[in-house]
Amino acid sequence: MNSLRLEKAYKGWGSELTTEISLVESDMLRFARKSGGYIGAEVVEQKTRDGVPIHLVYCEVEATDADPMGNEPVLDGENIVGVTTSGGYGHCVQKSLAFAYVNTGFEAPGTTFDIRILGERRRATVLSEAAWDPKNVRLRS
């Protein structure tokens, strides 16, 4: 199930989605009520206006013999710029995939950085859409 979730770029509760992360950092604003208010709306509006220091990204990892699982450091050179939240092998797409929270400036699709997996650096590229069925055509098949 985790493999399928990762291929569809579905975020998981307890890894990508937590009580410490807002809708802004986790890229979930599309699910927020636009009018009528809700608890925390002021904070979400403020973060949207002022920006946030971290962003959730979905990426493909160049891993041959070990896949990310979560809590691996994300590196730009020798600087830690984020941390993975979950990852694994996508059997349908035959690729290693991961979610990570990264610092501002590393969130654009096509951006590359390294993830340290079992002590080795593996190149990762931020994806703009799900690796499998990005248009959700097969969701109800």
Burial class (CB in 10 A: 0-12, 13-18, 19+), 125: middle
Low-confidence ranges of the chain (pLDDT < 70): 140-141
Give, in degrees to the nearest 5, the angle at Cα 109 between 28 and 118.
90
Model confidence pLDDT, tens digit, residues 111-127: 999 999 999 999 999 99
pLDDT of residue 3: 93
Distance CA 53, CA 18 (A): 16
Topology, domain 2-126: Elongation Factor Tu (Ef-tu); domain 3 (2.40.30)
The domains of the chain are located at 2-126
Model confidence pLDDT, tens digit, residues 27-37: 999 988 887 78
pLDDT of residue 140: 61
